[in-house]
Amino acid sequence: MNFLMSLITNLISGLSLGSIYALIALGYTMVYGIAKMLNFAHGDIIMVGAFAVIVSVTSLGLPPVAAILISVVVCVVLGVAIERIAYKPLREASPLAVLITAIGVSYFLQSLALIIFGSNQYSFPKIMTFSSITLGGLTLNGETLTTLIVTTILMIALSLFIGKTRIGKAMRAVSEDKGAAELMGISVNKTIAVTFAIGSALAAVAGLFYGTTYGFINPYTGAMPGIKAFVAAVFGGIGSIPGAMLGGILLGVIENLSKAYISTELSDAIVFAVLIIVLIVRPIGLLGKKTNEKV
């Protein structure tokens, strides 16, 4: 019985961690679907979002809601600006050139944060305090539950947005065929900018939850969740939105379970090993679309 309880607790905290990965992975996968590029700087947007919250709460003394809003706005502006300045001139260039540029942007954000904040750990303000809930002998952490609920709402909202709205339709069209979409009167530039804006907003939320989960932020905080989310996006089939959600959640659960039952040090290795096995069995990821190569 005790084992079952701890298993459920670990599963739920794994789901919560996984939903954070899923939020980040959505940004990766949306940008990949539309701009066909790996945005390596996406992880660092999380770090910027988390620092925005810290600055607004501890230095400016703003209420939590305002801090969260500021963090989202900062990330959206940053994401769109990065796209405009660094990626847009390279839209016709080779994917590798864009990848290296994205790495450059990642270095840029990290070193800028390093200059402003130094390499110290900043403790993340406790802006969300929720009491834990006890359900039939099972104690659930309040923050974990909030993370889970908010990310679920965001993912449903995003699915509806992409499925039902005009802009969502434009996004799907651009990812399918950029040239044809442009001929149908869709502004490709605007659609790509919107995609970056949404991805960055999700990253800001992910930064908030990442900060509350781990409690500490430094300029390099974004790198590892960024890589994990990239893994999650590929795991689910890169370019596929449900795939990113599934991949992120599975990744979080696997990571948490291996931390709890196998080894803390080897948990990353286990996550990566599962990814490799999945990709060897199914080279396009779990929900990826198979594209036939034309001669």
**Residues contributing to the site for another protein (CB under 8 A):** 32, 38, 86, 89-90, 92-97, 99-101, 103-105, 107-108, 110-112, 114-115, 223, 227, 230-231, 234, 238, 263, 265-266, 268-269, 272-273, 275-276, 279-280, 283-285, 293, 295
Q: For 237, left (φ over 0), alpha (ψ -120 to 50), or beta?
A: left
> What is the per-residue DSSP string for 60-125?
S---HHHHHHHHHHHHHHHHHHHIIIIIGGGTTS-HHHHHHHHHHHHHHHHHHHHHHH-SS-EEPP
Q: Residue 37: which H helix or E strand, with range? A: none
- What is the spatial distance between Cα 96 and Cα 91, in angstroms, rounded to a whole number? 11
Given the complex with another protein, which of 7 and 266 has the nearer CB atom?
266
Shortest Cβ 108–another protein spacing (Å): 4
Shortest Cβ 43–another protein spacing (Å): 12
Given the complex with another protein, which of 107 and 130 has the nearer CB atom?
107
Given the complex with another protein, which of 16 and 175 has the nearer CB atom?
175
Give helix 64-82 / helix 188-214 axis angle, nearest 10°: 140
- Copy the structure tokens of residue 12: 């739920």
Contact status, residue 53 vs residue 124, Cβ threshold 8 Å = yes
- Identify which of 43, 39, 48 has the alpha carbon closest to the alpha carbon of residue 70: 48
Shortest Cβ 13–another protein spacing (Å): 22
Phi and psi torsions of 135, nearest 5°: -125, 100
Shortest Cβ 14–another protein spacing (Å): 19
Shortest Cβ 120–another protein spacing (Å): 14
Given the complex with another protein, which of 108 and 214 has the nearer CB atom?
108
Given the complex with another protein, which of 102 and 174 has the nearer CB atom?
102
Given the complex with another protein, which of 32 and 124 has the nearer CB atom?
32
Shortest Cβ 68–another protein spacing (Å): 28
